Amino acid sequence: MARNATPPGTENVLFDLGFEDAEELSAKALLAFKINELVDRRHLKQSQVADLIGMSQPKVSHIRNYKLLNISLERLMIALVSLDQHVEISVRPARRSLGPGISVST
């Protein structure tokens, strides 16, 4: 590769940075973003969020700060349901352009 050549990137910056679980981390980040958006819109304190979603306040703080390594996708989805959201999981054959993987749309 030429010295100034830029390697081709993907649509997933975490994958480009070499994270093995990039798809899961991206999905978690999008779910956490939605949770944080709802919390901000409702002007809730972390203790109030903790009571609503059944998590400890430190876990809520982790979500608020996108420290998601010890929080499962399932737990984030349950939190969204607790915040009066409908979470839908869709399974379909992978398209050639995308290949197998995980994606979240909000």
Residue ranges per structural domain of the chain:
21-82
Q: Which two tokens stand for residue 20?
A: 């093995």
Amino acid type, 20? E
- So what's the architecture of 21-82 in CATH? Orthogonal Bundle (1.10)
Report yes or no: 76 and 35 within 8 Å, Cβ to Cβ.
yes
pLDDT value, residue 55? 96
Distant-in-sequence, close-in-space partners of 66: CB < 8 Å, separation ≥ 6: 29, 32
pLDDT value, residue 58? 97
- Residue 21 and residue 29: Cα distance in Å, rounded? 12
Can you list the alpha helix ranges (DSSP code H) found in 1-106? 13-16, 22-42, 46-53, 57-64, 73-82
Once rounded to an integer, what is the mean pLDDT over residues 36-49? 97
Place of tokens 């480009």: 16
Using pLDDT thresholds of 50, 70 and 90, give the confidence band for residue 98: low
Helix, strand, coil % in the chain, rounded to nearest 5: 50, 0, 50
- Residue 30 and residue 76: Cα distance in Å, rounded? 10
pLDDT value, residue 24? 86
Using pLDDT thresholds of 50, 70 and 90, give the confidence band for residue 16: low
